[in-house]
Amino acid sequence: MKVGLHLNLGQHLTMTPQLQQAIRLLQLSTLELQQEVQEALDSNPLLELDDGSEGSSQDNKANAADSVETNDAAGEALDLDRRDELPDELPVDTAWDDIYVGSATAAGGENMDEDGDPIEARNAPAESLQDHLRWQLNLTPFSDLDRMIADAIIDGLDPRGYLTVSLDELAETARHWRQEEAEEDEILAVLHRVQQFDPPGVASRDLRECLLIQLGQRDPETPGLADAQRLLRDHVDKLAAGDLAGLMRAMRLTESGIQRVMALIRELKPHPGEGWGGGDNDKALIPDVVVRRLNGRWRVELNPEAAPRLRVNSGYAAMLRRADSSRDNNFIREHLQEARWLIKSLQSRHETLLKVASCIVEHQRGFLEEGAEAMKPLILRDVADEVGLHESTISRVTTQKYLHTPRGLFELKYFFSSHVGTSTGGEASSTAIRAMIRKLVGQENPRKPLSDNKIADLLQAQGIEVARRTIAKYRESLNIPSSSDRKRLL
């Protein structure tokens, strides 16, 4: 192998650490951003939270421009798809309101709730189903062995509230921990006592038992209660098949009678464990952007609770005026630059988010005013072309970012959807078509449910050309049964 020197020319993209930081902050969710900012506050002494105690004139100026209307420019946002570098210097005493255009938060009391308790108390984990059951267990008189069995039953519940361990496994647990034999009758007695805990139906072994337990806790004078219990005990197979006619014959009930029984069963909860804390879906969603109607115009604002307010500590920064090369001075200079870059990156994130949200609201005014049926088709490229950013940047901005509207809380990605052609040459959003399908099904004659072909014909009469298989796909995505199943489940 011959050793030599070779000269090659080439091009490659190099991202500065500052640009990488800006991109990373852009794609973080609100909770992740708050954690990132807190870590920066803990590690950088030159960063501090802006509590509004200084710079009152600057706060007044920020309050005057705390919102952006959809027909106004949202400000120049940093284009993360270019290698334009951020400014080299920022004023030492820069406050958050000097560079951040958004809603101003109230000064003071940011770390306390309305009762004067630390804000961490509001963020404490929600009580889990097991915690709630053990609290009731501690209030119920049990022997030591029965209490151990009840605790094993609670441990054996799944997130739905159903018992996942068998009686033999419970007996083996008692034998292992207490060195005592537990008879099956004793285990069943403990199980029945736990099944009387709140929520009703908890610790059931199947759906039938769960519903029967809930019916057993109803008022005995409830109309149709005895028939509902008899249906679940003896004819649950016909109920699962939706055989309404077979139920009427087997139970010798009229149509009104079976409808009363079915209405009573529909009031029950098939999954008693739902709604309790301890799962991954219990995280609170914090809106990043708020849209409201004011004086006939839609206004888009950043949520002040989701936008960290930071500034440079002027006391530490003033120590750099000594202009020496001591180790302490170098330490302050390095952390001052890091603080400035973080503030600038946060500013870029908020300006870009506000610009994209304003563009989405401008396109989806119909949804805000009329509902999902007026949703317009929108793709990432449409917004990217309008705000002058790359599609990948728009994707980062809209991921795990939420918009609070008068119609509810929605992820920004909810407003993007594919389109279907219309007879007039226009386009209809797939989200709007789903809303129309839901509305048509909700207004149908219960005795004559609409078939997919009929729904397609009704939409075509409105100028929307959708194939039957597309209607079926949208209907299934909405968890709407077929017309035959809807008729049988009446």
pLDDT of residue 124: 54
Q: For the CA atoms of the chain, what is the radius of gyration? A: 31
Q: Check pLDDT > 50 for residue 89.
A: no
Helices 30-43 and 327-363: angle between axes, nearest 10 degrees: 170
Q: What would the two tokens of residue 489 be?
A: 């489940």
Q: Is 424 exposed, middle or buried (0-12, 13-18, 19+ CB in 10 A)?
A: exposed
pLDDT of residue 90: 42
Q: For the domain bounded by 417-488, which CATH number is listed?
A: 1.10.10.60
The stretch 237-250 carries a mean pLDDT of: 82
pLDDT of residue 212: 94
pLDDT of residue 334: 84
pLDDT tens profile 155-182: 999 999 999 999 888 888 877 776 667 7
pLDDT tens profile 385-412: 999 988 888 888 888 899 999 988 999 9
Rounded distance, CA 256 to CA 431, Å?
37
**Predicted confidence band at 39 (pLDDT cuts at 50, 70, 90)?**
confident
pLDDT tens profile 320-348: 665 566 777 788 888 888 888 888 888 88
The stretch 458-463 carries a mean pLDDT of: 87
Listed in sequence order, the DSSP H helices in 304-442 are 314-318, 327-363, 365-370, 380-387, 391-398, 430-442
- Assigned CATH topology for domain 129-205: Arc Repressor Mutant, subunit A (1.10.10)
Vertex 272 angle, CA 270 and 275, to 5°: 115
Q: Check pLDDT > 50 for residue 101.
A: no
**Predicted confidence band at 205 (pLDDT cuts at 50, 70, 90)?**
very high
Q: Check pLDDT > 60 for residue 456.
A: yes
Listed in sequence order, the DSSP H helices in 77-143 are 96-99, 129-138
The stretch 351-357 carries a mean pLDDT of: 92
**Predicted confidence band at 154 (pLDDT cuts at 50, 70, 90)?**
very high
The stretch 250-278 carries a mean pLDDT of: 86
